[in-house]
Amino acid sequence: MTAAKGITSKSSLDRWEKGNDNLSFSKVIDLLYRIHIQPDEFLGSNTPSQLANLYKQSMIAYYYSDISALKKLAQRYLELYKDSPEEKVYILQASVASNFYEDLTIENIFPSYLQIKLNQYFSNLETWTYENILYFSCTQLLIKPQLLFRLSKSLINFSIENHINRQNWHSLLLEAILNAIFALLKMKQLDKAKELVDVFYTMKFNENFIVEQIRINFMTSLIQYTSTKDKSEIQSQLLSIKNLGLDHLYNDLKFAANQIFSLY
């Protein structure tokens, strides 16, 4: 494997992590597979939970559809950023809270000048790390449609080319693409949403990802609704989900369907 020529051990990875080896991220990914380490193992088993802690309050508020809490969180992080503009994390925390708020209310409370910064951040993205995938998944309504579409296809290609199959990475990847499809639908970018659905099926995911399979089928039905205006298939799927006892998923998808009904 020429990408990782001369690098054969975990100690080599340690040197790269400390900045003592000039390897690109893609070469490191190749190396990880060469010595049988999944990328998330190298990044550390606590990485996903550590990142989630940054957005825990926003995620909880979003889960319970607490729009008041989301607005307060967004405002708090924006104030923190104003006091410490060198801290990128405050923009990202504010953008996550604002994105969730917009998803529930269709109101954008994220300042336009910061939205430009956020889009520049993703435009200049060179590698897909767990951190970047999480940010991308949670800020999509604030990203321009063409960039959102391009990044989604890039993420799918990254997944396929690097054989990402660990549960936490793969689950986040699928979630990010599913979110992007729905975001594009809300932006009335129907052709882009359709193309992403087609490309989504080129990704490998097994029977463990039942919720993701339900969601992609539901997204397909929402897309069909935009041209037929026939709600019967959507209502049938919602009833099946309810009968399975997946109450939170049922409520989420019912809310999503009502948003699409009002838009189209």
Q: How confident is the model at residue 207 (pLDDT cuts 50, 70, 90)?
A: low
pLDDT score, position 167: 61
For the chain, the C-alpha Rg in angstroms (whole number) is 20
Which band of pLDDT confidence, cut at 50, 70 and 90, is reported for residue 31? very low
pLDDT at 192: 97
Confidence of residue 37 (pLDDT cuts 50, 70, 90): very low
Report residue 145 as tokens.
């449609």
User: Minimum mean pLDDT among 28-37, 51-60, 121-130: which range?
Assistant: 28-37
Q: Is 228 left (phi over 0), alpha (psi -120 to 50) or beta?
A: alpha
Per-position b or e across 116-129, b if 16+ CB within 10 A of its CB? eebbebbeebeebe
Q: 163 falls in which pLDDT band (50, 70, 90)?
A: low
Rounded Cα gap, residues 129 and 135, in angstroms: 10
Q: Which two tokens stand for residue 153?
A: 């296809």
**pLDDT at 28 > cutoff 80:** no
| The two structure tokens encoding residue 210 | 């039942």
Percent of the chain with pLDDT over 90: 55
Counting residues of the chain whose pLDDT is more than 70, the rounded percentage is 76
Share the mean pLDDT of the chain. 82
| 94-145: pLDDT as tens digits | 999 999 999 999 999 999 999 999 999 999 998 888 888 989 999 999 999 9
Place of tokens 């951190």: 131
Q: Per the structure block, which two tokens stand in for 138?
A: 């949670």
Q: Return phi, psi of residue 87, to 5°.
A: -90, 95
CA dist 177 and 117 (Å) reads 22
